């Protein structure tokens, strides 16, 4: 819903040279709905319903966790920079 509202503001922000707002809008309109869509696919539901907790823990620790945290930090920093008008 926030992405739809951001579309109304986006042209004005781009005219002002605040291109970072485009990043925020893409996150709201593309990335977030895509994540929801992927998580609601039958394969995802089936995996969450049948996975053994020990198997899930083994799969989602170590390098996977480090990579996920790194991407989260980078994404958060980009979002902050966009919101502050730095990019």
| Overall average pLDDT of the 23-50 stretch | 89
| pTM of this structure | 0.62
What's the domain range around 74?
Answer: 2-83
Could you say which DSSP state residue 29 is in? I
DSSP states along 41-67: SHHHHHHHHH--HHHHHHHTSTHHHHH
Question: How many domains would you assign to the chain?
Answer: 1
What percentage of the chain carries pLDDT values higher than 90? Answer: 34
Give me Rg for the CA atoms of the chain.
17
Query: For position 48, what pLDDT does the model report?
Result: 82
30 burial level (CB within 10 Å; 0-12, 13-18, 19+): exposed
């Amino acid at each position: 819903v926030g992405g739809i509202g951001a579309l109304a503001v986006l042209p004005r922000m781009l005219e002002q040279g605040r291109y970072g707002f485009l990043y925020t809008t893409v996150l709201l309109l593309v990335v977030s709905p895509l994540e929801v869509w992927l998580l609601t696919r039958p394969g995802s539901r089936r995996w969450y319903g049948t996975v053994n907790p020990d198997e899930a823990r083994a799969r989602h620790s170590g390098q996977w966790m480090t990579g996920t945290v790194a991407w989260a930090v980078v994404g958060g920093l980009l979002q902050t920079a966009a919101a502050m008008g730095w990019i």
